[in-house]
Amino acid sequence: MNNTKYIIIIFFILTSCQKHKIYFDTKIQKVVSCNNLPINSLEVNNDSIKADGFPYEGGVLFVWQGDTELIPSDFSFNNIPKEYRCTKGGILYKSKIKLKPNCRYIVKKSGNGLNPHVIKIWTDKRGIVYKTTHPECIDNEGTPEEWSK
C-alpha cells in the first residue's frame, strides 16, 4: 500500500511539470508541440490593427473532435484535419482558414489542465509565416528579443 502511495505521488509530480510548450517551424509552416503533447485545442488571434483602428478579424479556436488517440502534435494552417472543429467568435466556421498577409498573430495552446503556452507569428505579403517569437522550444519566461518588435 505504501509503494502505491509513492508511485501516485511521483506520477503527479512528473505530470505537473509538463507544459504546453510549442514553437512555430517556419520551414514546414507548422505549430509544433515541444513535448509531443497532442494539440487538442489551439487559439489563434490576429493581433494586427487596420488603418481605421479596427482589428482585421476575430479570433479562431480549433478544438479536436475526433478520436483522442489520433490527435496530432503539430498543426498546419495549410492542411487542417477535418476532425478540428473551428469556431470564430463562438460561431461554427466551416470556410477554409487562411492567415492574412502582413499580420501578427498570437497562438495559444491550452487544455488538459496545464498552463497555456503563447507564441507570436508574423506573416509576409502572401500570408506565409516568416518570423516567430519561438522558432524552437523555449520557455515563455522572460521576453524573447523578437517579442516586442
The 10s digit of each residue's pLDDT in 65-96 is 999 999 999 999 999 999 999 998 788 887 77
β-bridge partners, 120: 106
Burial class from Cβ neighbours inside 10 Å (0-12, 13-18, 19+) for residue 136 reads: exposed
Could you tell me if 29 and 129 are in contact, meaning their C-beta atoms sit under 8 angstroms apart?
Answer: yes
Closest to 44 (Cα-Cα) out of 29, 32, 57, 35: 57
- Retrieve residue 132's grid coordinates: 516567430
pTM flag (> 0.85): no
pLDDT at 115 over 70: yes
Question: Is residue 86 helix, strand or coil?
Answer: strand
β-bridge partners, 23: 32
**Residue showing cell 496530432:** 72
Give me the pLDDT at residue 74, please.
96
Cα dihedral value 74, 77, 83, 85, nearest 10: 120
Q: How many helices (H) and strands (E) does the chain have?
A: 1, 10
The 10s digit of each residue's pLDDT in 3-47 is 665 555 444 444 445 567 999 999 999 999 998 889 999 999 998
